[in-house]
A = this chain, B = another copy of it.
Amino acid sequence: MTAKFHSIFLAMLCVLTLPLHAAKSPNFIIILADDLGYGDLGCYGHPTIKTPNLDRMAAEGMRFTDFYVAACVCTPSRAALMTGRLPIRSGMAGSHQHHVLMANSTGGLPENEITIAQALKTKGYATACIGKWHLGHEPQYLPTHRGFDYFYGLRYSNDMEPTAKIPRDASGREVQDPEWWNPTLLQNDKILEQPTDLSTLTERYTKEAVKFIEQNKKGPFFLYFPHTFPHVPLFANKKFQGKSLRGVYGDVVEEIDWSVGQILEALKKNHLTENTFVFFTSDNGPWLVKNQTGGSAGPLRDGKGSTWEGGMREPGIAWWPGKIKPGTVNHNIACSMDLFPTLCGWAGASIPTDRIMDGVDMSGLLFDTGPDLRQTMIYYYGSDFFAFRQGDYKAHFVTHTGYGKDPAVPHDPPLLFNLEKDPGERFNVAAEHPDIIANIRKEVEKYQANLVPGKPEY
């Protein structure tokens, strides 16, 4: 290739690969459910929960089968989503005592961490966090101090401000009754309501989200919409109470599905569909020990609080009419941490170079224009490394049942599963593949050699 032809080729490549830089900056919406399982949506095979809006979103967009979050519980998963970095690096991974920030914790996402919202603010984005935060509730940690122009929601989980004594039913489960919960609703830094009427919360979040979209329709905007539900205790609006075949859990998920429909409808009404990327996922797997008020991981093993697939693999639905090919099912590995570099890349915002970023740009997967830059996934339980996936294979060096009372079990050699052939992690094939285990060990060593854990925040 001559030098001249080479530069023309390169210039063409830039035009082909960066079509968005010349266009208007796109808007971004991340909708995050709380404790929703891999198997809890119609389009992921749930037999009785009806999710027509999310199913349509998948039919009009891309549905991931191997989408991961970076932790099996709330706080570290959200820290990773917000920063594009493993929570162990920011001190947000959790300790043996506490896996998430508690109501009496004083820590939060360190101020030297950069959130997606902060990165996008440098490019003039209007930003809002509507929903549950859970990355620190001291004033300096609240969303309005971490890059968001607007916050409307709960500081942490809806079960973290109980009244003096929560009654339990015959099976020992906390009663899902508003009387026994005392959550605080904030608007920006101010308390708006306490106790918060949880049964109207999804509806109120949705109204706030639609209002934010309409107020910022000239764009660009970033809406982070982390729902409070289906984390227990469960409350649905009157219109949804008792309507689902799946009981109160289904009522709540079907209301979230309605909410997603409202968001997409607002984008259509305001002619924003061609310039807005929407992504739906959850923070971690289903809280199985909560009996019928916990969700389902479908064919995957275990749930919240475990590094089995059910704990960290989630529904992942991407939507952007005209950009993402409708009805695509994507089987590549992708992760919530990848949203940071992807969105910043599209917005032309800088990606921090002074720290290790664990997220990779997933544009290639979304637009079917490039390779899968992520071939691996790392699984932590709190601050402890437990498992590693490379391609089709996952090696468990330690396992622990989600919220089980039994101690963690180390494995040497590690348990090995082929996740493509055996998504339910039923058949340990370690004995047949010592070469794959050796390879994974090398990858883990390489990763650990660069690891500097952050000072634990809780």
Contacts and interface: CB of A to CB of B under 8 A. Distances in A.
Contact of A299 (B45, B65, B250, B426): B45
Nearest to A42: B329
A42 B45 CA distance: 8
Interface string A290-306: 01100010111000000
A298 B426 CA distance: 13
Given A299-B299, A431-B170, A45 B45 contact: yes
A138 interface: no
Number of copies: 2
A46 interface: yes
A299 B427 contact: no
A421 B247 contact: yes
A424 B48 CA distance: 11
Q: Which of A65, A249, A292, A299 has the largest number of chain B CB atoms within 10 A?
A: A299
Interface string A245-272: 1110110000000000000000000000
A331 to B, nearest CB: 6
A44 interface: yes
A402 interface: no
Interface string A5-47: 0000000000000000000000000000000000100111111
A138 to B, nearest CB: 40
A259 B42 CA distance: 25
A392 B292 CA distance: 14
A59 B46 CA distance: 16
A250 to B, nearest CB: 8
A257 to B, nearest CB: 13
Nearest to A250: B421
A377 B296 CA distance: 24
A361 interface: no
B296 A423 contact: yes
The 5 A-B pairs with the shortest beta carbon distances in the complex, nearest first, are A45-B45, A247-B421, A245-B420, A47-B65, A47-B423
16 contacts: A43-B45, A45-B299, A46-B299, A47-B299, A47-B331, A47-B423, A48-B423, A170-B431, A245-B392, A247-B418, A247-B421, A291-B426, A291-B427, A292-B422, A292-B427, A299-B299
Given A247-B418, A247-B420, 9 more contacts: A39-B299, A45-B299, A47-B65, A47-B66, A48-B65, A245-B392, A247-B421, A296-B424, A298-B299
